Structure 1
Amino acid sequence: MTDNYDFIIVGGGPAGMMAAGRAGERGKKVILLEKKDHIGKKLLMCASGRCNVTNIAPLEVFITVYGRGGYFLRTALETFDNEKLRSFLLLYGVETIVENKGRVFPKSQKADSILKALEDYMHDHQIKIQTNVHVLRLNTENNHVIGVETNHGNVLGRNVLIATGGLSYPATGSTGEGYKLASSAGHTICPTYPAIIAFETAENWVKSLQGTPVKNVNIVAYQRGKKITGQFGEALFTHYGISGPCILDMSKRLVECFPVGPVEIRIDFKPGYTSEELDDILLDQIKRHGSKAIKSCLTFFVPEKLTPVLLNLCNMDHQKKASQITAPERKKILKQLKGLRLTLLCHRPVEEAIVTAGGVSLDEVDAKTMKSKLLGGLYFAGEVLDVDGPTGGFNLQAAFSTGYLAGNSVE
């Protein structure tokens, strides 16, 4: 490894691969170093292997969803936006389709088609790829990088990109080593924590509902009686608690509240109806099915597996005939339908997070180039930066955009 490169990429995820391809396209001599035995391992896991690559939302929506990181990402998103990403993929034979909430997937529904496009892009521009290479430290001279030291020796180069990801899914290579490299160069690492994650609950009855989804629900989170956040959409019960798109999109805010104590969520299964309107519908169901057990009436409102849980919470006999249900008992049922309560004790381990919040401070990175303001020739892209967005393709777009901008800016 004695060649001298224009650009050394540390990390073979979406940001690193895009940066490598773009720099190579500009005629730069590039090497990509990946510590695992294959590049793109985490990419292959995205959206359960389907790979939600981006979203069709307009630029201003993109800027908004990243919170304080949105302004920082503007140049990157303007340089390589969602339409340019889709055009790039189409150029490499990957047709994309739009699904619910503007989410964009490969038509093949397979993440490996996205990985192949990136591999072909790098191959077309003579990118050297080395796997099983562990970058140990940055080599510097006169406040400028001159390469990296690896477990196989030194690699010389006048520019280095750290695109190592965050802390989630460590089996794919994301173990936080990029933070250590950045810190060694003097960069501030903002505290890291899971940004898209599921939660464990105090209630053990969730185990009986494992794998049960609830759709079109409204979930509101409270702490000490004060509303924290809320979402409309879908949730999923698990053996340990609750997950699903609605919960994942709320998760960053919930995680930030845990130092104060547990968080309570309330699930409204029929947010389109008032309690009074729902009572009328329940009465109608009781009249129609009066001779049947009350649990059979509740399947009109919630999944069948959830009916015994609701009735237990109401202290009611599952086999009690619908016609025997009293007005006070109806009120108890309605209370659960409009606000089933769960106590969130903690988030799942950070290793299970889809995205990590925190990372390299944005104040120390040039938003127009992704270049370090502290050390010459050092660049950053992707999840290693203190930027994160909700589910729906926003985090992958940020990785592709920052990677492209870095590759487009390297001198």
Structure 2
Amino acid sequence: MADRYDLIVIGGGPAGMIAAGRAGERGKKVILLEKTNHLGKKLLMCAAGRCNITNTAPLEIFVKAYEKGGPFLRTALEIFDNERLRSFFTLYGIETVAENKGRVFPKSQRADSILKALEAYLYDHKVTIQTSSSVLRIQAEGNCIRGVETNRGDIFGRNVLIATGGLSYPATGSTGDGYRFASSVGHTISPLYPAIIAFETAETWVKSIQGTPMKNVSIAACQQGKKIIEHFGEALFTHYGISGPAILDMSKRLVERLPEGPIRIHIDFKPNHAFHELDILLLDQMKRHGSKAIKSCLTFLIPEKLVSILLRLCDIELQKKAAQITAPERKKILKQLKGLSLTLVRHRPVEEAIVMAGGINLHEVDPRTMRSKLREGLYFAGEVLDIDGPTGGFNLQAAFSTGYLAADSII
């Protein structure tokens, strides 16, 4: 007779691994199914391979960060919060450090250390792991789950956890399978769209300064003359447009509004200085370096690569002496420093999204257990749910917390 498992976990990402390990820790017979050839492929890409696992923010900030998904996540965050997550990794020899804005990383700055700890957790609690194992469909009898059909045969179990991730980075295995599985047993899927993603611009000059960072800037986004959102932080010019933490944190709002037409963003390079204060700084530089080209004065205020672009936008010769700059020309420069404009025309392909918005309707899932309200024995965790947070460790914490809670709730 075929083995019968207490829990079948579909998806070898952070939510699936923590859930499988926790269920095994509770003495359950668990199998973890991963469609690619090894676990944690997307995890290894997190924060450019550094792996921002969580944030030091207090619970109420976490709840607020997920917006409409926050109240749903409260129980999961209370049961397995950021401190408990850090303690878990400490037990597996992973020291963590907090950086700017509360972002928490492994001290090694290596995502593979996090993956190795999770794999050790699975091994310690005797979880069966099957890689290169694609689930074809969920099997059910009446209202109850009975197992899954895979490319390697049927697997039977009284509980199934869908932790397949979203649609982003399909090469890592996130191809939207979980939405299909959930829909096939009666669940509804909220509209899907990228929540953390970069943008392409109408301005092609960005390509000439790709890779140029902008630190401590304020970015305001407007459409049809009305401000949509404003954010302070870092941004980055790319060959196609603009990216970076500030843009990514704004991106969900911008994606929602793009169908209504192009969006103008205005970058204030010196948000802590009022226009007249910046004018005084610029005048001082021009007086000090009057015999030098104006571009040498501006490197005091903005990255050198950006200076040439700014002066071209002002119709000012790059080699014009600082002492020769007229008052109207100085005002042009100041306006660019306080509001360089770009036109966002589209977001990057969905496959490049760090996180997807939308997913399994939260009204159909019990937030106290992550159990389906429609099918007995069906659970959900991670990005497959209609939950998304900003950058900074919030999305990985949600994955770990929901996976842990689901495993704790298995009957």
User: TM > 0.5 between the two?
Assistant: yes
Residue 315 of structure 1 corresponds to: 315
* Cα RMSD, aligned residues only: 0.6
Q: Deviations over 1:288-342 (max 9, x none)?
A: 0000001111101100000010001001100000000000000000000000000
Q: Aligned partners of 2:58, 2:7: CA distance in 1, in Å?
A: 32
Letter paired with 1:195: A
Letter paired with 2:326: T
After TM superposition, list the pairs within 5 Å mapping 1:154-165 onto structure 2: 154-165=154-165
After TM superposition, list the pairs within 5 Å mapping 1:207-222 onto structure 2: 207-222=207-222
Q: Deviations over 1:371-397 (max 9, x none)?
A: 000011000000000000000000000
**1:394 correspondence with 2:394:** yes
Letter paired with 2:224: R
Residue 265 of structure 1 corresponds to: 265
Letter paired with 1:405: L
**1:385 correspondence with 2:382:** no
SS in 2 for 1:266: strand
Q: Aligned partners of 1:57, 1:405: CA distance in 2, in Å?
A: 20
Q: Aligned partners of 2:320, 2:185: CA distance in 1, in Å?
A: 69
Residue 134 of structure 1 corresponds to: 134
After TM superposition, list the pairs within 5 Å mapping 1:84-95 onto structure 2: 84-95=84-95
Q: Deviations over 1:120-144 (max 9, x none)?
A: 1111100000000110101001211
Q: Aligned partners of 1:6, 1:78: CA distance in 2, in Å?
A: 25
Letter paired with 1:261: G
SS in 2 for 1:37: coil
Residue 302 of structure 1 corresponds to: 302
Q: Aligned partners of 1:303, 1:208: CA distance in 2, in Å?
A: 13
Residue 324 of structure 2 corresponds to: 324
Q: Aligned partners of 1:215, 1:295: CA distance in 2, in Å?
A: 19
Q: Aligned partners of 1:298, 1:65: CA distance in 2, in Å?
A: 37
Q: Aligned partners of 1:112, 1:26: CA distance in 2, in Å?
A: 26
Letter paired with 2:383: E
Letter paired with 2:189: I
After TM superposition, give the deviation of residue 401 of structure 1 in Å. 0.1
Residue 354 of structure 1 corresponds to: 354
Q: Aligned partners of 2:179, 2:142: CA distance in 1, in Å?
A: 22
Letter paired with 1:279: D
**1:274 correspondence with 2:277:** no
Percent identical residues:
74
Q: Which runs of 5+ in 1 are unaligned?
A: none
Q: Aligned partners of 2:224, 2:299: CA distance in 1, in Å?
A: 32
Residue 77 of structure 1 corresponds to: 77
**1:145 correspondence with 2:135:** no
Q: Aligned partners of 1:187, 1:213: CA distance in 2, in Å?
A: 43
Letter paired with 2:23: A
Q: Aligned partners of 2:263, 2:406: CA distance in 1, in Å?
A: 40
SS in 1 for 2:338: helix
Question: 4+ residue stretches of structure 1 with deviation over 4 A?
Answer: none
Residue 55 of structure 1 corresponds to: 55
Q: Aligned partners of 2:408, 2:24: CA distance in 1, in Å?
A: 9
After TM superposition, give the deviation of residue 259 of structure 1 in Å. 1.0
Residue 169 of structure 2 corresponds to: 169
Q: Aligned partners of 1:185, 1:140: CA distance in 2, in Å?
A: 8
TM-score under structure 2 length normalisation: 1.00
SS in 2 for 1:57: coil
Q: Aligned partners of 1:258, 1:322: CA distance in 2, in Å?
A: 41
Letter paired with 1:200: E
Q: Aligned partners of 1:168, 1:93: CA distance in 2, in Å?
A: 30
Letter paired with 1:401: S
Q: Aligned partners of 1:235, 1:209: CA distance in 2, in Å?
A: 13
Residue 118 of structure 2 corresponds to: 118
Letter paired with 2:12: G
Letter paired with 1:65: A
TM-score under structure 1 length normalisation: 1.00
Q: Aligned partners of 2:142, 2:230: CA distance in 1, in Å?
A: 51
Letter paired with 2:203: E
Letter paired with 2:283: L
Residue 293 of structure 2 corresponds to: 293
Q: Aligned partners of 1:257, 1:108: CA distance in 2, in Å?
A: 39
After TM superposition, give the deviation of residue 2 of structure 1 in Å. 2.3
Residue 193 of structure 2 corresponds to: 193
Q: Deviations over 1:319-369 (max 9, x none)?
A: 000000000000000000000000000000010000010000000000000
